[in-house]
């Protein structure tokens, strides 16, 4: 059923295929029980010139004809139309979902498909909102009104993740508050208002520059703003220890403008002043810029590609030795990491118990890491997770699912800023999907060698569908072009650690305006329990290291260096060679001399003594120039411990009888090497 006012005639199919996303905002309004009353209250307040299109999605009885459009048209000042397949959206119109269908949007047109009859959850609001978020990006708006259950929460999360604006009706004014409460509790709602005030706010934001009527061009550089963005960046860097100057300008511009629209601020300089006066807004902007959007099994075919080509190769790799290690940087709220774990377990089958499996999920967003650790998700994940996987890998509870303990025990989550913190190492697979697309060229140039370094010699890298390694042909080779899977190329990896002077600890993070529901236990040093756990994870699974200046004085420690260094007797000193444990000093001297000349140096298996026992370590030294002054040279020294079993085999190989017969006794070679090293100059920092 439709109202008497019809949309204009549809264009032909060829024109439809060329049509781009609508340049005007599209508002998705979802409701269930009690929703008709709430939407009537909203639509009565809307003027006839908002410049927006409105799509009303309500839970309807699939077996009954709907009079919804006729009922709403009596209260509206704009046309109310029951949606038809391929109808083109127009501003200042309301489109109502028909019964017994699911609805999406593509190229500015509504697409209707028969409702699935598989007995699963019917979530038409989430389905349409997620489609709208993908289609309209920052010009999508989501509203959740009265209703039971939690339909609409994932939809609002997707809209906010793409830069749109989100609303929920106040629980007090909703006839049924289940849906609004679910959305509000998720943290994805920008405005919590009555239906009438939602209408008023929609009118206001529709006139904000963020929702300009014209198509938003790609932003290659931030606009001139008399230092406004510089001030915003400075505040974020000081508070959050993240330099967003290195993110893509378009991302920064849209996210900042989104927060300005929420706060009714038009100018960036005024917004910078608002940030200074309201520190809690820094946290909100920080959350927006980190874009915490993900889902289970994104691009399912990519996971099948892992199972068909990557996982078999990992098992055949002789260096695997019964241990499989996977790292998912930018893991957001954990769905990606858990999906990798499930796919690996499906592939391994009965072989899984015989292997040591570790998956590491890291992200700069501490809120996301908290959620990932809990492993608790809404029941709407059934849209992305098959019934078989829900049965095998999840535990059902009221209104949601929790990842099973068997899967959670394989996954370790820690807060990590990949641009600043040391990387993990010895990974079979690094799945870094849909993270690089938000980084500018400078940051990508820094991150890609880190990902290369983190992999074993026969390791694999998987990127997102819009990401590639074409700018780094010396680091990776293509394995599966369609699914963006690459293998590591052997060769020296030039790591570019900055070791910045900005605060790296969360103790000096943004002051929270509200108390989070999972309060952290404070331990010694002012750190929270989870912060301390993150520190331990990064120390145990990322290489320990330090920075020295041209005089070999240590100026910065990273991780646990005590196995390799100890204070020397006598006057206190931070000189690296004086602190190095037995057997390491000469190796360090030689490696640093080599790095001074060539930029980097590697020592694969250096033996030393610790607590009366022999150990082996890999040494890496990188030359750093931290300023424009050539003499201002520093060096990064990394220690990567070699497991005893591997070290023992290496020792056996180097002491074969044939070597001794050839006059190459390892002890003789060691003395020979040390003698040669003393012939080199005693450490020059000449570049």
Q: pLDDT by residue (tens digit) across 473-485?
A: 999 999 999 999 9
Copy the structure tokens of residue 444.
Answer: 């990508």
- E strand or H helix that includes residue 258: helix 249-262
266 is an active site residue: no
Q: What pLDDT does residue 647 have?
A: 45
What letter would DSSP give residue 176?
S
Mean pLDDT (the chain) is 81
Q: Which residue has the higher pLDDT, 657 or 166?
A: 166
487 by Cβ neighbours in 10 Å (0-12 / 13-18 / 19+) ranks as: middle
Residue 646 confidence (pLDDT): 45
**Residues written for the chain:** 687
So what's the pLDDT on residue 687? 33
Residue 388 clears pLDDT 90, i.e. is over it: yes
SS3 116: coil
Question: Which pLDDT score, from 0 to 100, does residue 596 have?
Answer: 84
Among 168-172, 329-333, 598-602, the minimum mean pLDDT is found in 598-602
Identify the active-site residue in 32, 173, 616, 620: 32
CB 279 within 8 A of CB 439: no
User: What per-residue confidence (pLDDT) applies to 147?
Assistant: 94
Pairing of strands 400-403, 455-463: unpaired
pLDDT at residue 481 in the model: 93
**Residue the block writes with tokens 């709430």:** 38
Give the Cα separation of 566 and 581 in Å (integer): 7
pLDDT beyond 50 at 667: no
Query: 676 to each of 87, 587, 664, 667, how far by Cα in Å?
Result: 80, 12, 16, 14
What pLDDT, on the 0 to 100 scale, is given for residue 359?
94
**Which ranges of 377-508 does DSSP label H, i.e. alpha helix?**
387-393, 405-408, 441-454
Q: What angle, rounded to 10 degrees, do the helices at 529-541 and 366-374 form?
A: 90
What mean pLDDT do residues 91-117 have?
93
For position 228, what pLDDT does the model report? Answer: 81
CB 126 within 8 A of CB 152: yes
For residue 532, name the pLDDT band (cuts at 50, 70, 90).
Answer: low
Can you state the angle between helices 585-598 and 666-678, rounded to 10 degrees?
50
Task: State phi, psi for 346 to the nearest 5 degrees.
Answer: -60, -40
Q: Please confirm, yes or no, whether 59 is among the known catalytic residues.
A: yes
State the pTM of this model: 0.72
Is residue 151 annotated as part of the catalytic site, yes or no?
A: yes
Check pLDDT > 60 for residue 496: no
Query: d(Cα 172, Cα 103) in Å, to the nearest integer?
Result: 30
Specify the pLDDT at position 335: 96
Distances (CA, A) of 6 to 109, 257, 623: 15, 35, 70
- Is a pLDDT exceeding 90 seen at residue 222? no
448: Cβ contacts below 8 Å, ≥ 6 apart? 469, 471, 472, 475
User: pLDDT tens, 290-302?
Assistant: 876 789 999 999 9
- Radius of gyration of the chain, Cα coordinates, nearest whole angstrom: 29
Give the pLDDT confidence score for residue 650 in this predicted structure: 46
* Residue 530: per-residue pLDDT: 53
Token pair 């199919």: residue: 13
Cβ proximity of 539 and 524 under 8 Å: no
Among 260, 319, 304, CA closest to 285: 260
State how far the Cα of 30 lies from the Cα of 27, in Å rounded to an integer. 10
Residue with the bigger pLDDT between 231 and 629: it is 231
Q: Which residue has the higher pLDDT, 104 or 521?
A: 104
Distances 685 to 151, 269, 559, 598, 682 between C-alpha atoms, Å: 63, 44, 25, 11, 10
pLDDT band at 428 (very low <50, low <70, confident <90, very high): very high
pLDDT mean over 196-201: 95
Q: Which of 93, 126, 131, 151 is catalytic?
A: 151
Label residue 399 by pLDDT band (50, 70, 90).
Answer: confident
Catalytically annotated residue among 59, 122, 483, 541 = 59
């Amino acid at each position: 059923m439709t109202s008497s006012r019809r949309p204009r005639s549809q264009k032909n199919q060829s024109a439809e295929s060329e049509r781009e996303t609508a340049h005007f905002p599209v508002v998705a309004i979802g409701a269930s029980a009690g929703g008709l009353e709430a939407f009537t209250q909203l639509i009565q307040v809307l003027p006839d010139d908002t410049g927006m299109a409105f799509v009303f999605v309500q839970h309807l009885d699939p077996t009954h004809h709907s009079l919804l459009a006729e009922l709403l048209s009596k209260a509206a000042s704009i046309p109310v139309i029951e949606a038809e397949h391929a109808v083109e959206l127009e501003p200042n119109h309301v489109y109502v979902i028909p019964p017994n269908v699911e609805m999406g949007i593509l190229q500015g047109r509504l697409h209707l498909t028969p409702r699935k009859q598989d007995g699963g959850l019917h979530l038409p609001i989430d389905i349409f909102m997620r489609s709208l978020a993908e289609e309209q990006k920052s010009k999508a708006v989501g509203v959740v009104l009265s209703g039971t259950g939690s339909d609409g929460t994932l939809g609002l999360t997707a809209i906010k993740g793409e830069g749109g604006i989100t609303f929920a009706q106040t629980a007090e004014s909703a006839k049924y508050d289940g849906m609004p409460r679910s959305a509000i509790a998720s943290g994805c709602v920008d405005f919590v208002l009555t239906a009438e005030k939602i209408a008023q706010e929609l009118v206001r934001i529709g006139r904000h520059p963020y929702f300009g009527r014209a198509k938003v061009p790609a932003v290659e550089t931030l606009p001139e703003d008399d230092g406004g963005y510089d001030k915003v960046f400075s505040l974020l860097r000081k508070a959050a220890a993240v330099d967003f100057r290195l993110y893509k300008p378009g991302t920064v511009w849209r996210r900042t403008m989104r927060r300005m629209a929420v706060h009714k601020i038009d100018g960036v300089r005024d917004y910078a002043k608002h940030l200074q006066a309201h520190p809690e807004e820094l946290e909100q902007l920080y959350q927006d810029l980190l874009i915490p959007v993900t889902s289970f099994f994104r691009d399912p075919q990519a996971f099948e590609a892992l199972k068909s080509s990557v996982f078999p190769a990992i098992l055949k790799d002789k260096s695997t030795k019964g241990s499989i290690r996977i790292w998912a940087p930018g893991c957001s709220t954990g769905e990606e990491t858990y999906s990798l774990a499930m796919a690996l377990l499906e592939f391994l089958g009965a072989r899984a118990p015989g292997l040591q499996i570790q998956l590491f999920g890291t992200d700069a967003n501490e809120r996301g890491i908290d959620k990932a650790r809990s492993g608790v998700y809404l029941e709407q994940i059934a849209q992305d997770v098959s019934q078989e996987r829900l049965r095998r890998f999840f535990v059902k509870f009221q209104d949601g699912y929790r990842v099973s303990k068997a899967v959670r025990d394989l996954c370790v989550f820690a807060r990590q800023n990949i641009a600043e913190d040391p990387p993990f190492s010895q990974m079979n697979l690094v799945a870094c999907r849909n993270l690089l697309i938000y980084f500018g060229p400078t940051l990508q140039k820094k991150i890609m060698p880190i990902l290369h370094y983190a992999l074993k010699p026969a390791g694999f890298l998987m990127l997102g569908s819009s990401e590639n390694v074409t700018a780094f042909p010396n680091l990776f080779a293509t394995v599966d072009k369609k699914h963006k899977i690459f293998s590591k190329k052997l060769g020296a990896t030039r790591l570019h650690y900055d070791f910045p002077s900005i605060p790296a600890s969360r103790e000096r993070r943004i002051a929270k305006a509200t108390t989070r529901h999972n309060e952290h236990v404070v331990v010694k040093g002012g750190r929270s329990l989870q912060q301390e756990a993150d520190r331990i994870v990064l120390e145990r699974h990322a290489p320990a290291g330090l920075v020295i200046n041209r005089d070999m004085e240590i100026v910065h420690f990273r991780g646990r260096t005590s196995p390799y260094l100890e204070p020397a007797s006598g006057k206190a000193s931070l000189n690296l060679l004086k602190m190095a444990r037995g057997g390491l000093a000469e190796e360090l001297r030689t490696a640093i001399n080599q790095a001074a000349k060539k930029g980097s140096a590697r020592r694969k298996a250096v033996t030393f003594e610790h607590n009366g026992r022999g150990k082996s370590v890999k040494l890496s030294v990188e030359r750093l120039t931290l300023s424009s002054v050539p003499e201002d040279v520093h060096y990064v020294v990394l220690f990567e411990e070699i497991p005893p079993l591997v070290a023992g085999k290496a020792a056996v190989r180097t002491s074969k009888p044939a070597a001794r017969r050839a006059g190459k006794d390892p002890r003789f070679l060691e003395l020979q090497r040390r003698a040669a090293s003393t012939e080199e100059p005693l450490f020059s920092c000449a570049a």
